[in-house]
Amino acid sequence: MSIERLSRVGYARFLRDHPNAVVDVWASWCVPCRRFAPVFEAAATSWSPRIGFGKLQSEREPTLVAQLGIRSIPTLLFFREGSLARRETGALSADRLDDLLRKTFGR
């Protein structure tokens, strides 16, 4: 499993390196974010290296989070071939996340 911790500096590089990617925007104080973390980690184990998985901590990168239009967390951003393909808010179940990954990237 490989989940990259993202910063403002590394965000663009991550998307260049992983044209198919999922970014989890989260915060340490967010209970649903912490509850969702193991689901995201399991998906990364199943889908890597085909899809890049990144985590963006909203408290550390408020400017980038605002630029992305994030209004609530957790929010998942799905990028397909370098473009934002889907945005989902809330802590998803493993089945729902897998379904969204299949719909967005195929399998």
Enclosing domain of residue 8: 3-100
Query: In the chain, where does DSSP find H-type helix?
Result: 8-17, 31-47, 62-67, 94-105
Q: What is the pLDDT of residues 72-104, one digit of tens each?
A: 999 999 999 889 999 999 999 999 999 999 999
Q: Does 105 map to a domain?
A: no
Q: Does 85 map to a domain?
A: yes
Q: Active site residue: 6, 15, 33, 64, which one?
A: 33
**Average pLDDT score over the chain:** 93
**Into how many domains does the chain fold?**
1
Residue 1 reports pLDDT greater than 90: no
Categorize the per-residue pLDDT at 58 as very low, low, confident or very high, splitting at 50, 70 and 90.
very high
CA atoms within 13 A on the CB side of 7: 3
Q: Active site residue: 30, 42, 85, 100, which one?
A: 30
Domain CATH for 40: 3.40.30.10
Residue 4 reports pLDDT greater than 70: yes
pTM recorded for the entire structure:
0.93
Q: What is the pLDDT of residues 12-41, one digit of tens each?
A: 999 999 999 999 999 999 999 999 999 999
Residue 33 designated active-site: yes
- At residue 49, φ and ψ (nearest 5 deg) are -90, 5
